[in-house]
Amino acid sequence: MQENNKTLGEFIIENQKDFPYSSGELSRIFNSIKLAAKVVSHKVNKAGLVDIIGGVGEKNVQGEDQQKLDVYANEIFIQTLINREIVCGIASEENDDFITVEGSDKSHNNKYVLLMDPLDGSSNIDVNVSVGTIFSVYRRITPIGTPVTLEDFLQPGINQVAAGYVIYGTSTMLVYTTGCGVNGFTLNPAIGSFYLSHPKMTIPADGSIYSVNEGNYVHFPQGVKDYIKYCQLEEEDRPYTSRYIGSLASDIHRNIIKGGIYLYPTSSKAVKGKLRLLYECNPMAFIVEQAGGKASDGFDRVMEIVPTSLHERSAFFCGSTNMVNKIEDCMLKAKLSK
Ligand code: P6P
């Protein structure tokens, strides 16, 4: 990577047209995320050396064991945003309820809310496999000047003004969209700057990688089983390759670059699916759609689902358009044949 590549800060300044209606607040949100990502990256990359891996004995709202890095990342992102007074509310996978953010003068004049999974894939932490942060930004819909309400968070994904993910892997990357395409930045830890390394990311319409936890195969709906068997058939461009990291940001990132589909279906073990609609499915759907791909719950566009609760889950099929179309065909055929 050439250091003469633009930094994230320079890119944001040069592309203010991509931050519509924003009086600089959205840019400041990204600067806050950039800082928090650097701090978390430093900690994640030391995880094996200092006593911050392993559970803290607590369980999060999802009933999942909280890893120390989960708690740490959550606190870093929340504090960085609160200290800068640039959002009016924050929702996190790690918090049962949303957080109301008021100014030092007790005002509620900011217009954006941020939803996040601060450290997704944390079960990979102890085995040194990449993990990620996923975030989504909306304009509040209740009147500015009043405390934020749940209504401000329960918006369909089509209302997002920005979304992104950070991958803490072999390198730390920040990938985001504001609705004007997708761009990826790689952190140079020696300098502490993110540099534009993946401009105008686009996902191929076709791919030969499918990402699913096949250990759940027997519990999947028939349409998903039919699609997986389609991927494995010896014909035409198949069999496809199965690649599943168990870290959403990494699986989605690879599939954007190489082409592919990520599947997290409903099952008899997860009747609503596992992934959370607001801070996993919708941000990834926004990014993949902006890269030219598609995101579905098997029948409908994920970003048009109207949420009814903060931590609700959804089936999630996301990636190369033609591959998502194929699994939707399989789901419909299975439904009609019942
Ligand atoms: P499973 C991590 O917990 C996560 O939310 C995603 O990052 C990942 O793709 C998925 O769940 C893994 O779930 O059930 O296959 O371990």
Tens of pLDDT, residues 158-175: 999 999 999 999 899 999
Residue 50 scores a pLDDT above 70: no
Ligand 1: atom nearest CA of 245 is 9
Residue 248 Cα, ligand 1 centroid: separation in angstroms?
Answer: 6
- The Cα-based distances of 189 to 39, 171, 254 in angstroms read 11, 9, 22
- pLDDT in the model for residue 261: 98
The pLDDT of residue 188: 96
Candidate of 247, 253, 271 to mutate for ligand 1, largest count of ligand atoms within 8 Å of Cβ: 247
Distance 9 CA to ligand 1 centre (A): 32
Contact between 102 and 147 under an 8 Å Cβ cutoff? The reply is yes
Q: What sign has the CA pseudo-torsion 297, 301, 302, 304?
A: negative
So what's the pLDDT on residue 206? 98
Range in 10-24, 28-42, 230-244 the model is least confident about: 10-24
| C-alpha span between 257 and 151 (Å, rounded) | 35
What is the 8-class DSSP label of residue 51?
A: T
Q: Which of 28-42, 54-68, 139-153 has the lowest mean pLDDT?
A: 54-68
pLDDT of residue 128: 86
Q: What is the ipTM of this complex?
A: 0.98
- Give residues (CB < 6 A) around ligand 1: 120-121, 123, 213, 246-248, 251, 274-275
pLDDT of residue 66: 65
Alpha-carbon dihedral sign for residues 202, 203, 205, 206: positive
Report the pLDDT value the prediction gives residue 13, as an integer from 0 to 100.
Answer: 87
Mean pLDDT value of segment 282-300: 98
Neighbours of 258 (CB within 10 A): 15
